[in-house]
Amino acid sequence: MSQFFHGVALSPGIGIGSVVLLAPMAFEEEGREVPDAGRSAELERLERALDVSEAALIRLEEEATERLGPDKAALFGAHRLMLRDPMLVDALREAVSEGKDAADAVVAKTAEIRALFEGLPDPYLRERGADVEDVGRRLFRALKGLPDPAELSGGEGAPFVVVARDLAPSDTALLDPAAVAALVTEQGGPTSHTAIIAQSMAIPAVSAVEGALERFPQGACAVVDGLRGAVVVDPDETELAEFRRARERFFLERDEAEILKDLPAVTADGVGLGLWGNIAGPGEAREVPARGGTGVGLFRTEFLYMGRGEPPTEEEQLGAYREALEALAPHPVTIRTLDAGGDKKIPYLASLVGPEANPFLGYRAIRICLDHPEIFKPQLRALLRAAVSGNLWLMFPMIVDLDELQAAKAQLDACAAELAAEGLPWARPAKVGVMIETPGAVLLAEELAREVDFFSVGTNDLTQYLLAADRMNPKLKRLQDPLHPSLIRALAAVAGAASSARIELGMCGEMAGDPRALPLLVALGFRELSMTPSRIPWVKKALRELEARNLEGLADVALKASTAQKLQRCLSELAGRR
């Protein structure tokens, strides 16, 4: 008998496959002692597990380099070195020689070494304790014969649905999209990095499905509807046939959208929009024009700072920014300055941030940068030097008042003066702007607009700050609706300020890639929408079916809607008239 489950839609599409459970691993000792006669064999088992783990890390490093770029792949190289470090290997061999079960030895020695690292005064070295545990868990899995998240497979090569408590972004990125039909997790939200990666890989995904690991039978047939946030386990033949038809319709609509990707992004009556892509590294820049986009609306530079022991140098950053600018030239590339803190943990900045009860409301982004010019200035200098290679739009995040914005612009001017004095080639950004992602920025939008060339609304954070609702908490999924009246009224206020100041108005949150919201965004005056690149063809298709002249008055209607449901009905009626 079929069972229906509801969750949060993370990535569109319909996936059908057999359930593969990725249960949380119990990384703990079992207390098994190995008799003298079995110790030689146990040592051999340990050596095989070391070889298997090393081979897996080499393979993962190669795959990650190809899919994600060398910066993110470096993590696996570092783990490979840790795996063969005598500090770990010699301790394991000694413990097994003395009669300890190999898996128990891994648990014990991993804990000991992690404790050593975490007791060190240097914050970067303390954070390496987490890497030691990752390596220990990989070796433990090899000894226990447990699957690696990146090496899951269905029966006889059939498509499968991964069901997990949660998936780290690196786990998600290394799944094979040709084999994985869909993802289902108990945790995670629609704006998580896992969601963004699943979207970029075109894997249907649903999160916030309570009790999935306990309630989904291993090997059962599952249908994952990433459009509506629903999962059906053990569907009957009638239901399965209907989902297969829906999947074919989805593929057909996707193909139709792809056909349009190289056509102009204009409404049926000629109003043009910039449909741009959000990227996390220079290697992703070329995907934007390949999907029909004409710019980058958000280059998340924090990913250049992650997975390493020190900040990237000015020269390293210059190379990354120049690569992205040259790939998109003459189109704009909007590069956001460092947004560390919050959910983005960077070990060597941990001592600056310190423990925080509410990290999303804490010491992050522009707040860190203004206090630490040794971090901020190399980035600004690299950006000014890179600006000679393309159309750079520079964007400051988490601005809440004029003092912050003016201080950031002063730092930019100081770096420009330094470069001029040094005789290095540099250029002013084509435009300088701010992300509007805090209630403070919304309320001061008119003042901020007089200081910048553009606004880009970050709806992911703005929604959670406006509604005091953690966007990573699945129990609050109702409050993540982009049509919530509070958010719409905030967007209207920002749009009005941008229009009065005659500056560019864009959006780089997930709402920008939602065709449902497109008519309202056009009516409000948004003219650049930046999204996961895979969403660009879908939004372009929806845009070309719109007539801007039919949207007159929609903004007024939206502002009078007292609930998201009423606004949704209004948009549905508009769609029905087209």
Paired residues of 529 in beta bridges: 275, 507
Q: Considering 144, 162, 180, which residue would you say is the last residue of a domain?
A: 144
In this prediction, residue 194 carries a pLDDT of 67
132 and 153 share one domain: no
Q: How far apart are CA 296 and CA 274, in angstroms?
A: 10
Q: Is residue 366 part of a domain?
A: yes
Q: How far apart are CA 98 and CA 510, in angstroms?
A: 56
pLDDT at 193 over 70: no
- Residue 447's alpha-carbon distances to 338, 366, 367, 443, 507, in angstroms, are 23, 18, 20, 9, 19
Q: Considering 120, 144, 168, which residue would you say is the last residue of a domain?
A: 144
Q: How far apart are CA 185 and CA 164, in angstroms?
A: 5
pLDDT in tens, 498-546: 999 999 999 998 899 888 899 999 999 999 999 988 889 989 999 999 9
- Residue 416's alpha-carbon distances to 287, 297, 336, 407, in angstroms, are 31, 23, 18, 14
pLDDT at 309 over 80: no
Tell me the mean pLDDT in the region 394-422: 97
In this prediction, residue 437 carries a pLDDT of 95
390 and 338 share one domain: yes
Q: Is residue 313 part of a domain?
A: yes
331 and 463 share one domain: yes
Q: Residue 26: which pLDDT band, with cuts at 50, 70 and 90? A: confident
Q: Residue 153: which pLDDT band, with cuts at 50, 70 and 90? A: low
pLDDT in tens, 239-297: 999 999 999 998 988 888 888 888 999 999 999 999 999 988 888 898 899 999 999 99
509 and 442 share one domain: yes
In this predicted model, which residue has the larger pLDDT, 125 or 149?
A: 149
**What's the CATH number where 429 sits?**
3.20.20.60
Q: Is residue 224 part of a domain?
A: yes
pLDDT at 66 over 60: yes
Say which of 79, 331, 369, 508 is annotated catalytic. Answer: 508
In this prediction, residue 227 carries a pLDDT of 82
State the total domains in the chain.
3
Q: Is residue 260 part of a domain?
A: no
In this prediction, residue 24 carries a pLDDT of 73
Shortest CA distance to 74 belongs to which of 278, 279, 338, 281? 281
Report the percentage of the chain scoring pLDDT > 90.
48
Say which of 79, 193, 331, 484 is annotated catalytic. Answer: 193
Q: Residue 69: which pLDDT band, with cuts at 50, 70 and 90? A: low
pLDDT at 204 over 70: yes
In this prediction, residue 85 carries a pLDDT of 86
Whether residue 534 contacts residue 258, with contact meaning beta carbons closer than 8 Å, is answered with no
446 and 461 share one domain: yes
pLDDT at 50 over 70: yes
171 and 282 share one domain: no
Q: Considering 144, 162, 194, which residue would you say is the last residue of a domain?
A: 144
Tell me the mean pLDDT in the region 150-168: 75
Tell me the mean pLDDT in the region 190-215: 80
540 and 516 share one domain: yes
Whether residue 506 contacts residue 526, with contact meaning beta carbons closer than 8 Å, is answered with yes
269 and 334 share one domain: yes
- Domain span including residue 124: 36-144
In this predicted model, which residue has the larger pLDDT, 64 or 204?
A: 204
207 and 270 share one domain: no
- Quote the mean pLDDT of the chain: 87
In this prediction, residue 68 carries a pLDDT of 58
Cβ-proximal residues to 317 (8 Å cutoff; 6+ apart), any chain = 301, 304, 378, 379, 382, 383, 386
* Helix (H/G/I), strand (E/B), else coil: 530: strand
Q: Residue 72: which pLDDT band, with cuts at 50, 70 and 90? A: low
**What's the CATH number where 92 sits?**
1.10.274.10
198 and 219 share one domain: yes
Whether residue 92 contacts residue 102, with contact meaning beta carbons closer than 8 Å, is answered with yes
Torsion of CA 348, 433, 515, 440, to 10 degrees: 80
Q: Is 193 a catalytic residue?
A: yes
User: Which residue do the tokens 């001029």 mark?
Assistant: 420
223 and 339 share one domain: no
In this prediction, residue 342 carries a pLDDT of 61
pLDDT in tens, 335-376: 999 998 665 667 677 778 777 778 788 888 999 999 999 999
Q: Is residue 493 part of a domain?
A: yes
Q: Is 79 a catalytic residue?
A: no
**What's the CATH number where 9 sits?**
3.50.30.10
Q: Is residue 487 part of a domain?
A: yes
Q: Is residue 396 part of a domain?
A: yes
Region of 265 (left: φ > 0; alpha: ψ -120 to 50; beta: rest) is beta
In this prediction, residue 522 carries a pLDDT of 95
Q: Residue 201: which pLDDT band, with cuts at 50, 70 and 90? A: confident
403 and 471 share one domain: yes
Q: How far apart are CA 94 and CA 99, in angstroms?
A: 9
Q: Is residue 253 part of a domain?
A: no
DSSP states of 439-479: HHHHHTHHHHHTT-SEEEE-HHHHHHHHHT--TT-GGGGGG
In this prediction, residue 150 carries a pLDDT of 63
